[in-house]
Structure 1
Amino acid sequence: MTQCVKTRIDILRHGLPEGHGCLRGHTDFPITESGLVQMHTAVKGLNDIEQIITSPLLRCSDFAYMFAQKFALPCHHFAHWKEMDFGEWDGQSHDSLWQQHGASLEQYWQNPWLSTPHGGEALKDFDLRIEQAWKHLLDNFLGQNILLVTHAGVMKQLMRILLEMPESTSYLHRIDLPYAARYRVTVATDDSGMHWPQIQWPTEQQY
């Protein structure tokens, strides 16, 4: 009989950071006090975490290290879990971007797989980066309960990869992940090393 190893990953988006109205990307805006409260509320009752993995950007890592210190847990930051790099657009306000790059911006959001007008990270490269980050996580933390603190763009891209969704923009517009949103992925790994992930929305009853 095949024995499966179970890995559980709770994936948490950062709370409200500074830089309201900006395309944050790699720009390292700090988390606000309200954002920290949102994140603490989102993980309330999550008492069996064994490892914490975080994006190194402050809006994620400040909470991750705080949570790790509270429960005396190891905390690892990996650059692969950063948000997408928007190059020349990164950190600019949405209003300014529309005024300066309206046509390019509209064309880009219609299908970001086709071009990278901001000179930053191509969506195909971002997608590959998240796929590699996921593989690294499972290779190194198999069988553990993990809290992964990251970004909305990362969470959507990971969902695309896990659900084997086509390379289109529809998932970007149809998935709403508010600040401190959390979903869970439970991965069963069989004797052959095959991973069987399932996306779940945790409820209080699970604790």
Structure 2
Amino acid sequence: MRTLTLDLLRHGETKAQGIYQGVTDVPLSVTGQKQMERAVSRSIGWQKVLYSPLQRCAQSAIKVAAQYGLSCAEVAWLQEYDFGDWDGRTLSEVYSEQPERVDAFWRDPAHNTPPGGESIKALQQRVLSGRDGLLNDSDDHLLLVTHGGVIRTLIADCLKIDPARWSHIRLDHAHFTRLRFYCDQTQIWPELVTCNVAQLPSQAL
């Protein structure tokens, strides 16, 4: 049986707060950079670093890979959820224009996609297809620097949580979630090891 451990690290604070960040490419703030430096201040056995193309993830991922002599790769499926026409706009501005549509999205995102945005089904398909690709690789302990939407998708699949409840999963900036997968030739057993912690144990426990 093969075991795969994925350490999912949400990016640090960015220079833009209070917006639908989504695919809007906002850099880390100085605080965010320091948050990420603390989070990855020690290596815990990662074999490779994979990261979202957006600079708020790429910036830190490339640094940590260089710091510990690891290979790294930009991976498209780790990109954040696309809020479509809302992306890059402030939460208050969008709500003032479309309060009923915003409420419907947060109440039941699977059936109320933002205008021009990515459906939850499409998000699940790309993220879970990407995860399944890792299950077929030879590495067994990876660091994935990514976003809240991607991490929630992976947690929700592991625990079978309906999208309407995803917003109840707290994910702070520069915090880790660890997922483990036990695989044989016919089945996969997923396990949520830890969620939303500032530091991980030194070994892949």
Q: Which residue of 2 aligns with 1:144?
A: 140
How far 1:144 moved relative to its partner? 2.2
1:195 is aligned to 2:200: no
1:62 is aligned to 2:55: no
How far 1:99 moved relative to its partner? 1.3
SS of residue in 1 equivalent to 2:192: strand
SS of residue in 2 equivalent to 1:61: helix
Taking the aligned partners of 1:204 and 1:146, their CA distance within structure 2 comes to: 13
Superposition CA RMSD, Å: 1.7
Q: TM (normalized to structure 2)?
A: 0.90
Which residue of the other structure, out of 166, 181, 186, is the alignment partner of 2:180? Answer: 186
* Worse-superposed segment, 196-205 or 9-18: 196-205
The one-letter amino acid paired with 2:190 is P
Ranges in structure 1 where 5+ consecutive residues have no aligned partner: none
Taking the aligned partners of 1:204 and 1:149, their CA distance within structure 2 comes to: 14
Q: Which residue of 2 aligns with 1:162?
A: 158
Which residue of the other structure, out of 85, 98, 116, is the alignment partner of 2:113? Answer: 116
Q: Which residue of 2 aligns with 1:176?
A: 170
How far 1:5 moved relative to its partner? 1.8
Taking the aligned partners of 2:176 and 2:83, their CA distance within structure 1 comes to: 24
How far 1:206 moved relative to its partner? 4.3
CA pair 97-45 structure 1, distance change in 2 beyond 3 A: same
Structure 1 segment 23-38 matched on structure 2, within 5 A: 23-38=20-35
Structure 1 segment 23-102 matched on structure 2, within 5 A: 23-102=20-99
The one-letter amino acid paired with 1:185 is L
1:129 is aligned to 2:123: no
CA contact (8 A) 1:8 1:143 kept: no
Tell me the number of residue pairs that the alignment of Structure 1 and Structure 2 aligns: 200
SS of residue in 1 equivalent to 2:9: strand
Taking the aligned partners of 1:135 and 1:11, their CA distance within structure 2 comes to: 15
CA contact (8 A) 2:10 2:176 kept: yes
How far 1:45 moved relative to its partner? 3.1
How far 1:122 moved relative to its partner? 0.7
Q: Which residue of 2 aligns with 1:153?
A: 149
How far 1:12 moved relative to its partner? 0.2
* Worse-superposed segment, 71-80 or 113-122: 113-122
Percent identity for Structure 1 against Structure 2: 29
Taking the aligned partners of 2:163 and 2:87, their CA distance within structure 1 comes to: 22
